[in-house]
Amino acid sequence: MRSYTLGFKNAGSAEQRRDKRLRLPIFSVKIGNRRYDSINWSLGGMLVGGYDGYLFQGLKVVIQVRLRDMPAALEKAAGDLDEEGLVVEALVIRHDLEKRELALKFQRLTPTILDFFERSFGFHQTRQR
């Protein structure tokens, strides 16, 4: 199987992160009872936009992640996701009240989570062609 996310290189970037951030595909992230869109993501975490909740730095949170553009029926057939998405434990790294952004770090990168991001990235790449 070709790895879409592990082999990604950000050409010409001076960024020295362990995991490179990607803007696409966009994920729908459920936090509490509301959904938000990802601004960017990596295998290490995710930046969520439009966040107007009350989570703060250092707090552990459970989120549910879905590929925003993938029909729920395809997503469900592709793996062990329910209607709400893949359940992921995360740590709040930053909550920028002015920008309404929430930076999250995934607690563990399980094979299920890795497979989910691989499938999502692959599905997005195929749709772009």
Fold annotation for 27-128: Thrombin, subunit H (2.40.10)
pTM of the model: 0.78
Q: What is the mean pLDDT of residues 117-125?
A: 82
Q: How confident is the model at residue 10 (pLDDT cuts 50, 70, 90)?
A: very low
The full set of domain ranges for the chain reads 27-128
Cβ neighbours of residue 79 under 8 Å, at least 6 residues apart?
Answer: 86, 112, 115, 116, 119
Note the pLDDT tens digit of each residue in 94-103: 999 999 999 9
Return the exposure string of 32-67: e unless at least 16 CB atoms fall within 10 Å of the residue's CB, then b. Answer: eeebbebbbbbbebbbbeebeeebeeeeebebbbbb
Residue 2, judged by CB atoms within 10 A of its CB (0-12, 13-18, 19+), counts as exposed
